[in-house]
A and B are shown apart, each in its own frame.
Chain A
Amino acid sequence: GQNIDQPTEMTATEGAIVQINCTYQTSGFNGLFWYQQHAGEAPTFLSYNVLDGLEEKGRFSSFLSRSKGYSYLLLKELQMKDSASYLCAVRAWQAGTALIFGKGTTLSVSS
């Protein structure tokens, strides 16, 4: 089976750095994804990791440790518009490109 855990809620202030953790258990691991979802909108792709290490893309970075079944999303220089739900998802070989999502972490950024 597959299981993905991430914190339900987090809060932070503008300009700060926040790290959202995700742990997973899955067979046939074939990649970990982070999506951002604003309320009432579709998820939008943020990052993809399939090998161990850090992937950086502007203010967003994502880290993966396959041996630990662990990932984090790092958001720097937080802005109010970063208030959203952040979804961790894994892909398994036997499921093609289908994604198994966690419940999401709601991030609230205050001024």
Chain B
Amino acid sequence: ETGVTQSPTHLIKTRGQQVTLRCSSQSGHNTVSWYQQALGQGPQFIFQYYREEENGRGNFPPRFSGLQFPNYSSELNVNALELDDSALYLCASSPDRVSSYEQYFGPGTRLTVT
């Protein structure tokens, strides 16, 4: 069983640029959530996708957007990057939107905005 994978591992961008982060969910999982984890903080929920539809969103501005594909992989897009967007971005998948109680996290993408 393949776990959750994310790419790239590290990324450096300049303020104002746009970035796309990718996540492949664990086999059989149809729900993907994205989290932002700043240094020394807990992960903050960005949004969740279930069967290609956004299924919940945290307190993040619209420049954070996402997609989920038919194979349940997902992308996180961030426009107009700001210095405070520097963080570890974690993707987590689960077998179902409601019935499953565990999320499986990927290794994350470390984004640095200069």
- Seen from chain A, the residues whose Cβ lies within 8 Å of a Cβ on chain B are 4, 31, 33, 41-45, 48, 50, 87, 89, 91, 94-104
With A42-B90, A87-B42, A103-B42 known to touch, is A96 a contact of B55 (CB < 8 Å)? yes
Asked whether B66 is an interface residue with its Cβ less than 8 Å from the other chain, the reply is no
Bound-complex Cα distance A50 to B58 (A): 22
Contact in complex: B102, A48 (CB < 8 Å): yes
With A87-B43, A96-B31, A97-B97 known to touch, is A43 a contact of B48 (CB < 8 Å)? no
CB distance from A46 to the nearest CB of B (A): 10
User: Pick the contact of B56 from A31, A33, A98 — CB < 8 Å?
Assistant: A98
| Chain A interface main SS type | mixed
Asked whether B103 is an interface residue with its Cβ less than 8 Å from the other chain, the reply is yes
Top-6 shortest CB links A-B: A101-B42, A42-B105, A96-B97, A97-B94, A103-B42, A104-B42
Q: How many residue pairs between the two chains, A and B, have CB atoms under 8 Å in the bound complex?
A: 68
What are 20 A-B pairs with beta-carbon distances under 8 A?
A42-B90, A42-B105, A42-B108, A43-B105, A48-B102, A89-B42, A94-B56, A96-B56, A97-B48, A97-B97, A97-B98, A97-B103, A98-B33, A99-B33, A99-B92, A101-B35, A101-B43, A102-B42, A103-B42, A104-B41
With A31-B101, A42-B107, A48-B102 known to touch, is A95 a contact of B56 (CB < 8 Å)? yes
